[in-house]
Structure 1
Amino acid sequence: MSVDQLSVSLTKDQAYALVDAVSERDELALTASAHENEDTGEWIFEATCDSPPDVAAFAELARQVLGGEVEFSVAPIDPEVNWVAKSLEGLAPVIAGGFYVYGSHETGPIPEGLTPMKIDAAQAFGTGHHQTTTGCLEAIEALLEQRTPARMIDIGTGTGVLAIALAKRLEAVILATDIDPIAVTTTVENAIENGVGDQIDAVEATGLDHPEITARAPYDLVVANILAGPLTELAPGIGSITQAGGTAVLSGILNTQADGVIAAYEAAGFALQDHLKRKEWTTLVLEKN
């Protein structure tokens, strides 16, 4: 596969705003990220795309999001390079709730009082930097201060970051599922790297009818950081696998989409407990009636 990198220098806020916008357009890019150039102090937006990228579509999106013209540069990426890792390798550690998420390139000390998770960039979503992930980690932190779940499932696990967060805090086994076999493999590898390999069972599953999912139901905690559309479609199924009094932590939802997702889960027997907003993104905490 031929892959190109599209980039431009912007302010920090502009770079992150464009990352968020591109993340909602699956057809535009394989990955999108923002990082600071340590030599110049400039912030760089980068997108990794199938070659050739749709530069006109990027320019139009930039006009909509940033309100002005943006001139992108395009360069080919060596096919031997892991382009996902390359695009994300400069990301700084993230503190969300009581968790500290960092990559293996980070050599600084781990802050005291935080639960560390080493999550390297990989061909799966979830390094901890996106507001959807930080929102989920903050919601999990708040939930664990109130009670101790026993039966948990992470739907659309990506790199396994949310399942690993739970495993780090609890003496329990977490079921982690994803439709992408690369995500399943990545989750297993990350679980082992973080010392919780025996606490996470990762399976490839489309929807919620996988035998492993139904056999372990009902769950007292369901976490799902995917997208508003799939979350809405899964509402009845998540309702059926969540026990009474159980909690669902949902993200991957734009603020403008939150009301629709809330309505779908209320119809499935949930009541809204908390609504966290991080920039343009929403994390919902709901309880099964």
Structure 2
Amino acid sequence: MTVDQVSVALTKDQAYALVDAVMERDDLALTASAHEDAETGEWVFEATVESPANLEAFNELARQTLGGDVAFAIEAIDPEINWVAKSLEGLQPVSAGGFYIYGSHETAPVPEGLIGLKIEAAQAFGTGHHETTTGCLEAIERVLERATPANVIDIGTGTGVLAIAIARKTGLKVLATDIDPIAVTTTVENARDNDVGELIEGVVAEGLESDVITGKAPYDLILANILAGPLMGLAPGMSRIAQSGASIILSGILETQAQAVIAAYAENGMPLLQRLQRKEWTTLILHKL
């Protein structure tokens, strides 16, 4: 596969807003990121796309998201390089919920009092930099302050950052599932790198359609950082696999979508406990009756 890099210098807020907009699409880019150029101090939006880049689609998305045209640059890049990972290498460490997420390129020590999670950039979502991931990490901290779960599942695990965070914090085994085999492979590798390989079971599964998922139910902690539409569709199934008293952490939800997701889960016996807001993204903590 040949790939191109689409980039443009923007303000920090604009760059992150455009990343969020691209991530809402599954047909536009392999990955998108925002970072500060170490030399110029400018914030840069970058997306890695299959060649040829659909510049018209990027221009239209920029107009919708930023309210005007921007001057995208396109660069053909070496197909021998994993640019999905390369485009994420420069991301700075992130602290959230008592965790410190960093890549192997980071040389500074993990700050005292935080649990370090080394999450490598890869062809899977979840480096810890997006508001949905940091929101989930904060939600995990709040849930664990109240009780220690016994049976945990992370649905749509991506890089496995949430499953690994739970395993590192509690020493519990976690079932980590994803529809994408690459994500499951990435999760298993990241778990091994974080010394919790024996605690993370990675399973390829579409939604909740897996004998492994149903066979290990009921769960007293369920995490799902995906998108609002799929989350609403999963609500009845989530209710079936959640035990009474379970905590359910949901994210990947825009602020404008949150009320519909809350209503769908309340209808299935999982009312809202807490709502966390990060920019335009919402993370929900629910309770199974």
TM-score of the two chains, using structure 1 as the length reference: 0.98
Q: Tell me how far 1:207 sits from its aligned partner.
A: 2.3
Q: Tell me how far 1:67 sits from its aligned partner.
A: 2.0
Which 5+ residue runs of structure 1 have no aligned equivalent? none
Matching of residues 260-275 of structure 1 within 5 Å: 260-275=260-275
- Other-structure match for 1:89: 89
Separation of aligned partners in 1, 2:155 and 2:23: 19
Supply the RMSD in Å over aligned alpha carbons: 0.9
Q: Tell me how far 1:61 sits from its aligned partner.
A: 1.6
- Runs of 4+ off more than 6 Å: none
For the residue of structure 2 that corresponds to 1:264, the secondary structure is helix
CA deviation profile, 1:269-289 (whole Å, cap 9, x unmatched): 111001111111111110011
Separation of aligned partners in 2, 1:66 and 1:207: 33
Q: Tell me how far 1:47 sits from its aligned partner.
A: 0.7
| 2:219 corresponds to 1:216 | no
Supply the AA of the counterpart residue of 1:72.
Answer: F
Q: Percent identity?
A: 69
Supply the AA of the counterpart residue of 1:5.
Answer: Q
User: In the comparison of the two structures, how many residue pairs are matched?
Assistant: 289
For the residue of structure 1 that corresponds to 2:252, the secondary structure is strand
Separation of aligned partners in 1, 2:72 and 2:180: 31
- Other-structure match for 2:236: 236
Separation of aligned partners in 1, 2:123 and 2:61: 25
- Other-structure match for 2:193: 193
- Other-structure match for 1:80: 80
CA deviation profile, 1:43-88 (whole Å, cap 9, x unmatched): 1100111111221221122122222220100011111110111110
- Other-structure match for 1:256: 256
For the residue of structure 2 that corresponds to 1:198, the secondary structure is coil
- Other-structure match for 1:71: 71
For the residue of structure 2 that corresponds to 1:203, the secondary structure is strand
CA deviation profile, 1:240-276 (whole Å, cap 9, x unmatched): 0000110110001111111111111111111100111
- Other-structure match for 1:59: 59
49-58 or 29-38: bigger deviation: 49-58
For the residue of structure 1 that corresponds to 2:234, the secondary structure is helix
- Other-structure match for 2:184: 184
- Other-structure match for 2:118: 118
Separation of aligned partners in 2, 1:182 and 1:61: 27
Q: Tell me how far 1:209 sits from its aligned partner.
A: 3.1
CA deviation profile, 1:93-129 (whole Å, cap 9, x unmatched): 0001100000000001210000100001011111000
Which 5+ residue runs of structure 2 have no aligned equivalent? none
Supply the AA of the counterpart residue of 2:178.
Answer: D
- Other-structure match for 1:279: 279
For the residue of structure 2 that corresponds to 1:220, the secondary structure is strand
Separation of aligned partners in 1, 2:81 and 2:245: 47
Separation of aligned partners in 1, 2:55 and 2:30: 14
| 2:7 corresponds to 1:7 | yes
Q: Tell me how far 1:152 sits from its aligned partner.
A: 0.4
Q: Tell me how far 1:185 sits from its aligned partner.
A: 0.9
16-25 or 131-140: bigger deviation: 16-25
For the residue of structure 2 that corresponds to 1:125, the secondary structure is coil
- Other-structure match for 1:99: 99
TM-score of the two chains, using structure 2 as the length reference: 0.98
- Other-structure match for 2:204: 204
Q: Tell me how far 1:230 sits from its aligned partner.
A: 0.9
Supply the AA of the counterpart residue of 1:25.
Answer: R
